[in-house]
């Protein structure tokens, strides 16, 4: 035991003596990246994969210490291909991280003050249309584009490029009409397209009571910074999705405040920070 303690002491003293300021910076950068990776994959299926990779590293170290040649060779081969495996396994998370980096480095231009009246009118029209459809239990799915463009989603629908009005929203989602099954995409203060197809979330932990409309609302927000507004055709409840998180049971006032937070300048992810939504925040 004393011999091991002596060797450990010598090893530690050598490490401390050779440690430079650049080594500390290197360690801090790696620790920060690991923390961000854990934060990014929290509450996702990738988190379990990350734990499995950690176990593989521990197993490799044990195999090396015990001189298990075959097991060590297999684990070494797996880790040598680790970069490609990580890219494949973490493709959605890596895409989301790169999009977040792009959004943070983007120079935003403050909205024209003259458009505030138009924005207020648009919010009122959306709220009125969704509340009316909610009372009638008509399904609604509206996606509000933010910094990440949704051109690939828009191309799947019918281009409208029209001013927003409650009458138009109600007409689009009226049952048995050509566009009622898809999603409406809003860019700025205009409806760009309707009848659009959205990717479904692959998350299996969400409530079984949620149907395809809610899964589509979550799916599009997992890969972009957009906001999805949903009305359930079963219950008529109004929900909002952003960043892969769902907030349910909003009323007209809550919906209006959510929409204002989307267009509020100089506040990144204002919806997630909105104190009003904490009251209605529901776990997936």
Looking at CATH, the fold of the domain delimited by 115-280 is given as: YojJ-like (1 (3.40.1700)
Structure token digits, residue 116: 């505030």
Q: How many CA atoms lie within 13 A of 75 on its CB side?
A: 19
Which string of DSSP letters, residue by residue, matches 182-200? Answer: SEEEEETTEEEEEEE--PP
| CA 200 vs CA 100, 146, 196, 214, 253: distances in Å | 21, 19, 13, 9, 28
Q: Cα(255)–Cα(238) distance, rounded to whole angstroms? A: 8
Handedness of CA 38, 43, 44, 47 (dihedral sign): positive
Q: CB atoms < 10 A from the CB of 269, how many?
A: 14
Every domain range in the chain assigned CATH 3.40.1700.10:
115-280
Residue 280 CA, chain-centre distance (Å), reads 19
Structure token digits, residue 45: 């299926």
Q: Cα(200)–Cα(108) distance, rounded to whole angstroms? A: 30
Least confident segment among 148-157, 175-184, 191-200, 273-282: 273-282
Q: How many CA atoms lie within 13 A of 279 on its CB side?
A: 11
pLDDT in tens, 88-124: 766 666 666 666 556 544 434 444 444 677 788 888 9
Q: Identify which has the larger pLDDT, 54 or 105.
A: 54
Whether the pLDDT of residue 50 is over 80: the answer is no
Residue 30 CA, chain-centre distance (Å), reads 24
Reported confidence tier of residue 183, pLDDT bands at 50, 70, 90: very high
> If you average pLDDT over every residue of the chain, what do you get?
77
- Which contacts qualify for 190-194: CB closer than 8 Å, 24 or more apart? 190/161, 190/162, 190/163, 190/164, 191/160, 191/161, 191/162, 191/163, 191/164, 192/145, 192/154, 192/159, 192/160, 192/161, 193/153, 193/154, 193/157, 193/158, 193/159, 193/160, 194/157, 194/158, 194/160
User: Strand 227-231 vs strand 183-187: parallel, antiparallel, or unpaired?
Assistant: unpaired
Q: Cα(126)–Cα(148) distance, rounded to whole angstroms? A: 21
Q: Identify which has the larger pLDDT, 104 or 194.
A: 194
Q: What angle do CA 231, 237, 239 make, to 5 degrees?
A: 65
Q: What is the 3-state secondary structure (H, E, C) of 90-138?
A: CHHHHHHHHHHHHHHHCCCCCCCHHHHHHHHHHHHHHHHHHHHHHHCCC
DSSP reduced 3-state for 69: helix
Q: Are 150 and 216 in contact, with CB atoms under 8 Å apart? A: no
Model pLDDT, residue 128: 93
Q: How many CA atoms lie within 13 A of 101 on its CB side?
A: 8
DSSP structural state of residue 157 = S
Whether the pLDDT of residue 158 is over 90: the answer is yes
DSSP structural state of residue 60 = H
Highest mean pLDDT of the ranges 5-19, 25-39, 129-143, 211-225: 129-143
């Amino acid at each position: 035991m004393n011999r091991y303690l002596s060797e450990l002491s010598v090893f530690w003293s050598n490490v401390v003596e050779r440690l430079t300021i650049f080594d500390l910076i290197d360690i801090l950068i790696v620790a920060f990246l690991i923390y961000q990776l854990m934060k990014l994959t929290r509450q996702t299926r990738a988190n379990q994969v990350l734990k499995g990779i950690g176990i593989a590293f521990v197993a490799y170290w044990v195999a090396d210490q015990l001189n298990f040649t075959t097991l060590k060779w297999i684990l070494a081969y797996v880790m040598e291909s680790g970069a490609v495996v990580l890219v494949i396994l973490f493709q959605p998370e890596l895409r989301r991280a790169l999009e977040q980096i792009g959004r943070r480095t983007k120079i935003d231009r403050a909205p024209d003050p003259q458009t505030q009246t138009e924005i207020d009118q648009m919010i009122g029209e959306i709220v009125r249309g969704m509340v009316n459809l909610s009372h009638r239990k008509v399904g609604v799915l509206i996606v509000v584009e933010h910094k990440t463009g949704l051109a690939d989603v828009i191309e799947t629908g019918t281009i409208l490029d029209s001013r927003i009005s409650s009458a138009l929203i109600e007409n689009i989602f009226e049952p048995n009409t050509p566009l009622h099954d898809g999603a409406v995409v809003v860019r700025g203060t205009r409806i760009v397209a309707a009848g659009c197809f959205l990717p479904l979330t692959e998350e299996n932990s969400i409530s079984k009571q949620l149907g395809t409309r809610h899964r589509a609302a979550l799916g599009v927000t997992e890969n972009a910074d957009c906001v999805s507004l949903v009305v359930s055709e079963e219950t008529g409840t109004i929900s909002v999705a952003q960043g892969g998180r769902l907030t349910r049971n909003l009323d007209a006032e809550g919906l209006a405040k959510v929409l204002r937070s989307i267009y509020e300048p100089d506040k990144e992810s204002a919806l997630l920070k909105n104190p009003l939504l904490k009251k209605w925040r529901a776990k997936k």
